[in-house]
Homo-oligomer: A and B are copies of this chain.
């Protein structure tokens, strides 16, 4: 038997527990802090998200101001202020300096933030790149105060200093932080573009950006109507796992299992509980929920899937809206053609509702702009995140928040690339002047990473996005097919005619016939054959190409 050179006690003597803050200190790239330009955008994104969610919660029209100043080489300050409800002083520390603390974590409700990582991540990044605290000023209906907040990385606890009351009549939240290893740049992944897209997908927001040169960009509120408020809903029986049900039962204050099921799940009526009782005679529906065992919960979940339920509540979602998406697309891309579609709400994982909106733009500035390509080259030379620019023609949103990074890992990209674009008259999706915009809204968006920049590639979500894009693509196909066929015909004709001249000379040498005569006859020959073959081709593509396959899809859609 082999003898270990080091025994277990020696090997494990350094065994330690680490805080989540310590983990992200070492792996800040997982939170979106990789690359200087991206890191600055991540900071603005986190603060904006918090402001937008707080205002939405309080049912107010948000006025948000973002100020960025350059402090030194790759060092900037960021100040974000809003007119929202403010934040109570007793939880300010945790909100800004405890990773995984928040109100949003257990809620079954559509919100921009959902993890309780964002703002604390900013505080952490400020600390590890500048050693500084962030400064908070807040006014609620009960108190007005300011303080410095930083994070004790070892314990993931807040450290608050200089807490003091303010006499002025301030309202909302103003957060100020200083950050190193960041850079302001006017690129597709920069702060300006992020804010512009946020404003476009949230027309009820007013956002002012003051950039490091001091110039002010005002994104005016486009509507005074508050967006439909996203309701908090209960999970649907078809979307709950055994573990979810068990955890929920053990947390429950209901006294009986039957009542617990009605109170904690959507669509469970007393009639449905009776139906469950009939099937699951071995389970005591009068027992206490906190006594629920894994086995019983597993049986319940199994039977949930066997009986009929009303569909999940679908009014829990707040979309951007077809009209607003069209405005957004026209504003960003100035295209010659736009088509937007909103799908009906669907569910994934059995019972989590989500809804997809999509739009296609063609012409104008759609597709990869030359500007981007030029910048791509430049930043590649600078050794900075060149690979980030490769998805220029897919504009991604989740719960109305623009996603600017990790495109290749995202369900939206996967869906857009999985479409057989040739069928819709686009022979090269990457190169042609086409852009696709997609927004996925849900009470729970399954992000693929902690940085929340890509939607996990779940088949049900990908399929639904594809159907939305295809719907727009069919309209696009009708729009461009005429122009395109014309162009194609002309190009081919020119190509062939180029040879006729040269060939006529060669043939004249061989045959002794006059070059002019041969050229004339050859031209006639080509023109005639060209007309015949073009006619055939068009007819062919009409019959077996686009329309047949498109209707396949349509029928697939119905049965899905």
Which residues of A pack against B, CB within 8 Å?
1-9, 11-12, 14-20, 22-23, 25-27, 29-30, 34, 54, 57-61, 83-88, 91, 94-95, 98, 100-103, 105-107, 115-116, 127-132, 140-142, 153, 171, 180, 241-243, 246-247, 294-295, 297-298, 380, 383-387, 406, 408-409, 414, 418, 446-450, 456-460, 462, 506-507, 510-513, 518, 521-522, 525
**Chain B residues within an 8 Å CB radius of A105:** 16, 18, 22-23, 26
Question: Contact: A60 with B414, CB < 8 Å?
Answer: no
- Given A29-B448, A131-B246, A408-B408, A506-B518 contact (CB < 8 Å): no
**Least Cβ–Cβ distance between A529 and chain B, in angstroms:** 9
Query: Which residue in chain B gives the minimum CB-CB distance to A243?
Result: B128
Question: Contact: A459 with B386, CB < 8 Å?
Answer: yes
Of B16, B180, B247, B418, the residue contacting A106 (CB under 8 A) is B16
Q: How many copies of this chain are found per oligomer? A: 2
**Chain B residues within an 8 Å CB radius of A385:** 457, 459
**Chain B residues within an 8 Å CB radius of A141:** 4, 7-8
- Given A127-B243, A408-B409, A409-B408, A1-B101 contact (CB < 8 Å): no
A128 to B470, CA, bound (A): 37
23 contacts between A and B (CB under 8 A): A2-B60, A2-B83, A6-B58, A6-B59, A7-B142, A11-B103, A12-B91, A16-B101, A16-B102, A16-B106, A17-B101, A20-B20, A22-B105, A23-B100, A23-B105, A27-B447, A128-B243, A130-B294, A131-B295, A380-B459, A507-B507, A510-B518, A511-B511
A450 to B94, CA, bound (A): 24
Q: A6-B59, A14-B107, A30-B450 are in contact. List 7 more A-B contacts (CB 8 A).
A: A8-B141, A12-B103, A15-B101, A30-B449, A131-B243, A406-B409, A510-B521
A87 to B171, CA, bound (A): 56
Question: Contact: B100 with A19, CB < 8 Å?
Answer: yes
**Chain B residues within an 8 Å CB radius of A142:** 7-9
Question: Contact: A8 with B106, CB < 8 Å?
Answer: no
Give the top 8 A-B pairs by smallest Cβ distance, nearest first: A131-B294, A4-B58, A8-B140, A408-B408, A128-B243, A5-B59, A4-B85, A17-B101
**Chain B residues within an 8 Å CB radius of A59:** 4-6
- Given A87-B8, A88-B9, A91-B15, A131-B101 contact (CB < 8 Å): no
**Chain B residues within an 8 Å CB radius of A9:** 88, 140, 142
**Chain B residues within an 8 Å CB radius of A25:** 243
A516 to B262, CA, bound (A): 90
**Chain B residues within an 8 Å CB radius of A506:** 525
Question: Contact: B2 with A88, CB < 8 Å?
Answer: no
Query: Which residue in chain B gives the minimum CB-CB distance to A83?
Result: B2
**Chain B residues within an 8 Å CB radius of A116:** 18
- Given A7-B142, A409-B408, A131-B298 contact (CB < 8 Å): yes
A511 to B525, CA, bound (A): 13
**Chain B residues within an 8 Å CB radius of A2:** 60-61, 83
Query: Which residue in chain B gives the minimum CB-CB distance to A117?
Result: B23
**Least Cβ–Cβ distance between A320 and chain B, in angstroms:** 23
A380 to B462, CA, bound (A): 11
**Chain B residues within an 8 Å CB radius of A54:** 11
**Chain B residues within an 8 Å CB radius of A8:** 58, 85-88, 140-142
**Chain B residues within an 8 Å CB radius of A88:** 8-9, 12
A359 to B479, CA, bound (A): 48
Question: Contact: A5 with B525, CB < 8 Å?
Answer: no
Question: Contact: B241 with A128, CB < 8 Å?
Answer: yes
Question: Contact: B15 with A103, CB < 8 Å?
Answer: yes
Question: Contact: A5 with B522, CB < 8 Å?
Answer: no
**Chain B residues within an 8 Å CB radius of A129:** 241-243
**Least Cβ–Cβ distance between A3 and chain B, in angstroms:** 8
Question: Contact: B29 with A456, CB < 8 Å?
Answer: yes
**Least Cβ–Cβ distance between A438 and chain B, in angstroms:** 16
- Given A20-B100, A115-B23, A131-B298, A5-B387 contact (CB < 8 Å): no
**Chain B residues within an 8 Å CB radius of A298:** 131
A153 to B142, CA, bound (A): 36
- Given A8-B86, A27-B447, A459-B384, A95-B15 contact (CB < 8 Å): yes
A85 to B512, CA, bound (A): 93
A4 to B62, CA, bound (A): 11
- Most B CB contacts (10 A, CB to CB) among A1, A95, A380, A511 go to A511
**Chain B residues within an 8 Å CB radius of A525:** 506, 510
A68 to B446, CA, bound (A): 29
**Chain B residues within an 8 Å CB radius of A14:** 103, 106-107
**Chain B residues within an 8 Å CB radius of A460:** 383
Of B18, B60, B101, B380, the residue contacting A100 (CB under 8 A) is B18
**Least Cβ–Cβ distance between A166 and chain B, in angstroms:** 15
**Chain B residues within an 8 Å CB radius of A102:** 15-16, 18
**Least Cβ–Cβ distance between A442 and chain B, in angstroms:** 14
A354 to B371, CA, bound (A): 35
Question: Contact: A458 with B131, CB < 8 Å?
Answer: no
**Chain B residues within an 8 Å CB radius of A448:** 29-30, 34, 449
- Given A294-B131, A298-B131, A5-B459 contact (CB < 8 Å): no
**Least Cβ–Cβ distance between A395 and chain B, in angstroms:** 19
